[in-house]
Structure 1
Amino acid sequence: MEMNLIPKQPTLDNFAQAFTKIPLFRFILNSFLVAGCITLGQIISCSLAAFALSFLDFKGKNVIFMLIMATMMVPGEATIISNYLTVSGWGWLNSYKVLIIPYITSAMGIFLFRQFYLTFPKSLYEAAKIDGCPNLVFIVRILIPLTKSAIGAMAVYTFINAYNMYMWPLLVTGTEEMRTVQIGISMLNSVDSQSITMVIAGVVMVILPSLFVFILGQKQLIRGMFSGAVKG
């Protein structure tokens, strides 16, 4: 059997058919909206939590941090049913909030920001407090400009993970208007429109956005992941 890596008659019909068979643009838009909101939410919530665990002194701080880290050892499959029953009872199914709010924070993000903040001398925070700088102003005007690499790494890591979510959107969405791209792309392989070339064309279009984000932010991702690894 002869295999040809380069097609004899190149065509873009499969890409056009992928958009006509399913509302692929709607799926991509949903994924971008969900992934963008999750990324922004995790950057805000994780940076605030890491600030408290790094600069503030209160009882049980280390215990709270250990409990947060312990959640990383719990697989998502162990809690997905209880989470589904909870959001179902609240009437959140088939909505943007059920796709976004459960992932608005993460232990990984808190750990990343905390390790980065620990590289800063605590005297920086103490000097700001002596000058009468509130905590939120200290975070916005001092910490955020100094942690651009960590924010970039967190943004790339979170966006790609949120964009590629599959199991949770499959459970909590039921209409085409709310489907994300990873769920919607499987509709190209239905019985009435089964075409391997069209499926591959759809997969290529789905991969391109996340690949583009990774290429743009790979330097920030690597720099941010290693910036808090060595304290000196």
Structure 2
Amino acid sequence: MSDTPIAPAAERLPGNRKTSPKKIVQAIVVYPLLLLTTVVTLGPFLWLLSTALKTGDNIYAYPPQFIPNPITFKNFIDVFNLMPLWSYIGNTVYMTALGVLLNIFLCAITAYPLARLRFPFRNAIFFAMVSTMILPNAGGMIVNFLTIQSLGLYNNMFGVVLPSAISIFNIFLLRQAFITVPNDMEHSARIDGAGEFRIFATIMVPMIRPAIATVLIFDFMAFWNSLIWPVIILDDRAKYPLGPALKYLNSNLAFNFPYVAAGTIISVIPIIIIFLVLQKQFINGMVGAVKG
């Protein structure tokens, strides 16, 4: 029989565990640091929201008022009257949906063979693709513009989407997710007579839903906030997405900050909704990519 003394039952109860000094110190240091980070991160957004809810009279008040007094929602209504905002929102939804769907499809069918199939120079091809990530996006604008123009897609929404229809980072992320799928599932499907495309579509893709959700969030934010490239490709301002449209709103109403803030808040709301809906999948996708 072991001679190790057994602690009394009262000391072994979870409610009676003593908090170690190390955990107390961590709580004193970590929690205020997290709170400070939250304030710094949300500060600009909260100030923007505060500005959007102010009237033109109290925005220049001194000292600055963080909580509007009085609170007004008139700025959000006036923005729709000042510009065809619904039209710009429709353009943005179309551009974002087209870009996200193309990116997920093209990146998935590119990442799958790099992760699961055996062919010559597979790793060399992958490393060559990843190495292009060091190139700045602005460096390819001239080439992309000439390509889009030669394809006859100038002043066309598809010309805005095409250069970003595939992302090396997304290929890397999905490849890492495909690698984590157990080989037994693939072997079982092959024994049952499933072809390569069926394995890809019915087994592999459902298994990497968190990674696909991560790609969806990143691409949604990128396309929704796209600013410079649409201005270069689109000659007709009626086809502009929200980013360039709000930029011109800022130029025309440079001294009416509540209107500019209200338009910006409207453009941010869909991104917040998408992230809140997919945040669990997003976290799982990032963890899976790191493990892979």
Alignment-mate amino acid for residue 75 of structure 2: N
Is residue 223 from structure 1 mapped to residue 288 from structure 2 by the alignment? Answer: no
1:186 is aligned to: 247
CA contact (8 A) 2:253 2:260 kept: no
Q: Which has the higher contact order (CA 8 A, sep 6+)?
A: 1
Alignment correspondent of 1:51: 112
Residue 162 of structure 2 aligns to which amino acid in structure 1?
Answer: I
Matching residue's letter, 1:218 = Q
Are 2:213 and 1:149 aligned? no
Per-residue CA deviation, residues 165-211 of structure 1 (Å, 9 max, x unaligned), is: 11111211122321010000012223477411111111111111112
Structure 2 residue 194 is matched with structure 1 residue 113? no
Identity of aligned residues (%): 28
**Distance change (3 Å), C-alpha of 1:90 and 1:125:** same
Aligned AA for 1:203?
Answer: T
Q: CA RMSD in A?
A: 1.7
Secondary structure, counterpart of 2:291 in structure 1: coil
Q: CA deviation at 1:2?
A: 2.8
Confirm or deny: 8 A CA contact 2:157 2:234 kept in the other structure.
no
Range moving further from structure 2, 72-81 or 4-13: 4-13
Does 2:114 match 1:20?
no
Q: Indicate which of 156, 169, 177 corresponds to 2:230.
A: 169
Whether 1:99 aligns to 2:160 is yes
Cα distance per residue 1:43-63 (max 9 Å; x no partner): 111111111111111111111
CA contact (8 A) 1:153 1:225 kept: yes
Amino acid in the other structure paired with 2:199? F
Task: Structure 2 unaligned segments of length 5 or more: list them.
Answer: 1-61
Aligned 8 A contact 1:92 1:98 in 2 = yes
Map Cα deviations across residues 100-141 of structure 1 (whole Å, 9 max, x no partner).
222111111111111111112334323322322111111111
Say which one has the larger Rg. Answer: 2
2:149 pairs, out of 88, 113, 137, with 88
Tell me the TM-score normalised to structure 2 length.
0.74
**For structure 1, which segment, 66-75 or 119-128, has the greater mean C-alpha deviation from structure 2 after superposition?**
119-128
Q: What amino acid is the match of 1:82? A: V
Alignment of 1:58-97 (within 5 A): 58-97=119-158
Q: Distance in 2 between matches of 1:31 and 1:47?
A: 24
Q: Does the CA contact (< 8 Å) of 1:149 and 1:220 recur in 2?
A: yes
Instruction: Report the number of matched residues.
Output: 231
Give unmatched runs, 5+ long, in structure 1: none
Contact 2:92 2:242 in 1 (8 A): yes
Query: Is this contact kept in 2: 1:39–1:155, CA < 8 A?
Result: yes
